Chain A
Amino acid sequence: MSAARAEVSIVGVGLHPFGRHDPALTGMAMGARASRLALADAGVSWADIGYAVGGSNVSGKPDSLVGVLGLTGVPFVNVRNGCATAGVALATAANAIRAGETDLALVVGFDKHERGAFAASPADYGHGDWYGETGLMVTTQFFAMKDRRYLHTHGLSDRLLGQVAAKAFRCGELNPDAWRRKALTEDEIMRARMISPPLTQYMLCSPSEGAAAVVLARGDRAADLCQRPVRLAAAAMRTRRFGSFEVFAPWLPPQVGDSASVDAASAVFRAACVSPADVQVAQLQDTDAGAEIYHMAETGLCADGEQQELIDRGETAPAGRLPVNTDGGCLANGEPVGASGLRQVIDIVLQLQGRAGARQVPRQPRVGFTHVYGAPGVSACTVLTA
């Protein structure tokens, strides 16, 4: 990072809660609401925004939002990178500020998914129709198979999946914006309907609806706009390299290597000059309970196999040494794909500002981390500092 590089801070956040809403409420309308909430939180108006980036997987072209937010002529970039969409959108907007395009940017993500597991088109991912027709192109299968392999390789028990999901719903119970607000015991989770072993229905996140937005400012303006701006120390995105085991892969090489998450996380820590050991509160992509477990290691927050001890000691719960997904994560909020990464960022911002309410972690954290991962092997991470 060169000395001349502009600092970027988050000065406003807005969330349209995730869940199931009125069928007539569009994804884009939720995006507009989240945007207005973020602008109000920052105390700025839409006309002040010099650059916007939006992400949605299925609910329309984000730049259409200018029709309801105001036709100011602002440059507005659309992003569509699967579950990593919002992370990529954030990085894109931050780079626009660093490049001197603007000193104030809005990032928004929204989606309104139909019920049930995602359906994907083989052609969209470069595969033949056979791959979908014969029933191999289902994201939940991948998560189950990656979990099975990971737990086996590192000698971890399936029970850990139940512990992670139970923690997510305990956090959801404390979060007024969460979709799933009822705590469930490990036993209830372990004995629930099997979706794809080892995953039961409560160990997998559901596609949902919602929107999230943040306002970014160049560092020298942040203090004027926000009492406690949170510095976006770095944001990074990576696609998969050869050998990674990713969603929608008909084949793998025999020497399986690191995932896109490993690369995105190491790049972001390097750019932020922060070590994973410095992280005091984290958000990790928990499309399923197992994903939270292996993403802890892939992002460098712990060693492979160390998860059992950390989770048994409660270290990833809000009161622990390394709180993970304190708003309940994807498991308790569901996943509107385009918005999910911004929900993560908002949770960390609230934690670093000390305004996370009942789920506030006890020792005022100063370093936070977010990580998203999506098909067909993309990851985006941020380091946020108080």
Chain B
Amino acid sequence: MIAVDPGLFSSLDPPRLAGARCASCGTVTFPVQEGCARCAGTELAGVPLADRGTLWTWTVQAFEPKAPYRALEGGFTPYGVGYVDLGDVIVEARLLGDPACFEIGMPMRLTLLPLWPGPDGSPVVSYAFRPAGEDA
């Protein structure tokens, strides 16, 4: 398993996203940034983000985006997109699960999103959130 970008995860098993916390003002960014968007501080330390949160807003991508988007193996199918409030930071994410049951405020949990095979055949993964009540 390879992350689509090495900076996204603090661990893949179990999956945890990698954020950064500003030493001056406590702002948490995702992914890691070298400068703080709030106070312009430059001392930010890596911090694993919570793997559970609540759905802050959502939609569905119903048409296939143009490049640089790459469809998953098997071609494009509509997918959910949303922002999930993890407490310290609100993160934009692909959503798994039935959009008919998406609701602002519903509990969500982090999961891996298999994308496509990497150069050595092992899967390249990104992250997604799914309703916390659903099985993986």
**Residues in A lying within 8 Å of B, measured CB to CB:** 116-117, 119, 121-122, 128-130, 132-138, 141, 144-146, 148-149, 152, 193-199, 242, 249-254, 256
CB distance from B8 to the nearest CB of A (A): 7
Q: Pick the contact of B62 from A129, A149, A152, A195 — CB < 8 Å?
A: A195
Please judge, given known A-B contacts A148-B58, A148-B104, whether A242 and B37 are in contact too, CB under 8 Å.
yes
**Residues in B lying within 8 Å of A, measured CB to CB:** 4-5, 7-8, 19, 27-31, 37-38, 56-63, 65-70, 79, 81-83, 85, 87-94, 99, 104, 113, 115, 126
A179 to B65, CA, bound (A): 24
Please judge, given known A-B contacts A117-B63, A122-B68, A196-B62, whether A134 and B115 are in contact too, CB under 8 Å.
yes
A133 to B124, CA, bound (A): 12
Q: Which residue of B lies closest to A195 (CB)?
A: B62
Whether the Cβ atoms of B88 and A254 lie closer than 8 Å is yes
A-B contact pairs, 23 of them (CB 8 A): A128-B5, A128-B31, A130-B8, A132-B69, A133-B68, A133-B115, A134-B70, A135-B79, A136-B81, A137-B65, A137-B68, A137-B69, A138-B65, A144-B59, A146-B57, A149-B104, A195-B62, A197-B59, A197-B99, A242-B38, A250-B31, A250-B92, A252-B90
Contacts of A250 in B (CB 8 A): 30-31, 91-92
**8 nearest A-B pairs in the assembled complex, by CB-CB distance:** A144-B59, A132-B68, A119-B66, A130-B5, A149-B57, A251-B30, A252-B90, A196-B59
Contacts of A196 in B (CB 8 A): 59-62, 81
A237 to B7, CA, bound (A): 34
Contacts of A242 in B (CB 8 A): 27, 37-38
Q: Which residue of B lies closest to A255 (CB)?
A: B90
Contacts of A128 in B (CB 8 A): 5, 7, 31
Whether the Cβ atoms of A119 and B65 lie closer than 8 Å is yes
Inter-chain pairs besides A197-B62, A254-B89, 15 sampled, C-beta below 8 Å: A122-B68, A130-B5, A130-B8, A130-B126, A132-B67, A141-B59, A145-B83, A149-B56, A152-B104, A195-B63, A196-B59, A197-B59, A197-B99, A253-B89, A254-B85
Whether the Cβ atoms of A145 and B82 lie closer than 8 Å is yes
Contacts of B61 in A (CB 8 A): 135, 138, 141, 196
Contacts of B38 in A (CB 8 A): 242, 253
CB distance from B104 to the nearest CB of A (A): 5
A148 to B59, CA, bound (A): 8
Contacts of A253 in B (CB 8 A): 27-28, 38, 89-90
Whether the Cβ atoms of B90 and A251 lie closer than 8 Å is yes
Whether the Cβ atoms of A116 and B115 lie closer than 8 Å is no
A119 to B87, CA, bound (A): 31
A130 to B70, CA, bound (A): 10
A133 to B66, CA, bound (A): 10
Whether the Cβ atoms of B4 and A130 lie closer than 8 Å is yes
A128 to B68, CA, bound (A): 11
A129 to B7, CA, bound (A): 12
CB distance from B65 to the nearest CB of A (A): 5
A117 to B30, CA, bound (A): 26
Q: Which residue of B lies closest to A198 (CB)?
A: B59
Q: Which residue of A lies closest to B5 (CB)?
A: A130
Whether the Cβ atoms of A251 and B92 lie closer than 8 Å is yes
A349 to B130, CA, bound (A): 50
Whether the Cβ atoms of B60 and A134 lie closer than 8 Å is no
CB distance from B12 to the nearest CB of A (A): 14
CB distance from B9 to the nearest CB of A (A): 11
Q: Which residue of B lies closest to A145 (CB)?
A: B57
Contacts of A149 in B (CB 8 A): 56-57, 104
Whether the Cβ atoms of B65 and A135 lie closer than 8 Å is yes
Please judge, given known A-B contacts A117-B63, A152-B104, A249-B92, whether A135 and B37 are in contact too, CB under 8 Å.
no
Q: Pick the contact of B94 from A122, A135, A254 — CB < 8 Å?
A: A135
Whether the Cβ atoms of A145 and B29 lie closer than 8 Å is no
CB distance from A151 to the nearest CB of B (A): 10
Q: Pick the contact of A119 from B37, B62, B67, B93 — CB < 8 Å?
A: B67
Whether the Cβ atoms of B81 and A254 lie closer than 8 Å is no
Contacts of A252 in B (CB 8 A): 83, 89-90
Contacts of A132 in B (CB 8 A): 67-69
Whether the Cβ atoms of A133 and B70 lie closer than 8 Å is yes
A136 to B91, CA, bound (A): 11
Residue from A148, A149, A251, A254 having most chain B Cβ neighbours under 10 A: A251
Whether the Cβ atoms of A254 and B90 lie closer than 8 Å is yes
Q: Which residue of A lies closest to B89 (CB)?
A: A251
A130 to B124, CA, bound (A): 11
A136 to B19, CA, bound (A): 18
Contacts of B87 in A (CB 8 A): 254
